[in-house]
Chain A
Amino acid sequence: MIAKVSMLLAAIAIMLLSDKSALSKADKHARIIYAILMLPVLYLGILFVTEVRWPNLDELLRYLFSGPAQAIISNLNEAP
Chain B
Amino acid sequence: MNNKQESVSSLQLASLLLTFATGSSIIFIPGQMTNAAKNGAWISILISYLMGAIILAALIYLYKRAPELSWVEFMRKTVGNWITTLLLIPFIIVLFWQLAAIVIEIGGFFKSTMMKDTPNSIIQGLFFLTAALTARAGIEVMSRMFTMLLVFMYVFVVFVLLLASPLFHGEYLLPVMPEGFKPILYGAYISYGFPYAEIALFSLLLPFTRKKESGRLTKYLQLALFINCLTLILSILCTIMVLGPMSGHLNYSLFQLARLISIQDILERVESVIGFSLIIGVYMKAAIVLFMMTTVLSDWFKIKDNRFLTYPVALIGLLLSLSMYPNEITYFVDGYTMWGLIDHTAYVMPLVIVFIVALFKRKKAAQ
A-side interface residues toward B, CB under 8 Å? Answer: 4, 7-8, 11-12, 15, 18-19, 22, 26, 29-30, 33-34, 37-38, 40-41, 44-45, 47-48, 56-58, 60-62, 65-66, 68-70, 72-73, 76-78, 80
Contacts and interface: CB of A to CB of B under 8 A. Distances in A.
Interface residues of B, number: 44
B79 interface: no
Given A7-B121, A56-B324, A47 B340 contact: no
B362 interface: no
Contact of B342 (A37, A45, A65, A78): A65
Interface stretch (B203-211, B304-312, B347-355): B304-312
B311 A29 contact: no
Interchain residue pairs A-B with the least CB separation, the first 8: A44-B319, A76-B186, A37-B312, A47-B323, A80-B180, A69-B338, A58-B324, A15-B311
Contacts of A8: 319
B319 A45 contact: yes
A26 B308 contact: yes
A58 B325 contact: yes
A4 B319 CA distance: 11
Interface of B: 93-94, 96-97, 100, 121, 125, 179-180, 182-183, 185-186, 189, 297, 301-305, 307-309, 311-313, 315-316, 318-320, 322-325, 330-331, 334, 337-338, 340-342, 345
Contacts of B342: 61, 65, 69
A64 B94 CA distance: 12
Interface centre among A15, A38, A60, A70 (most CB of B within 10 A): A15
A61 B311 contact: no
Given A22-B308, A29-B303, A62-B334, A57 B186 contact: no
17 contacts: A7-B125, A11-B318, A29-B303, A33-B301, A33-B303, A37-B309, A44-B323, A47-B323, A48-B319, A56-B323, A57-B96, A57-B100, A62-B338, A66-B338, A69-B341, A69-B342, A78-B182
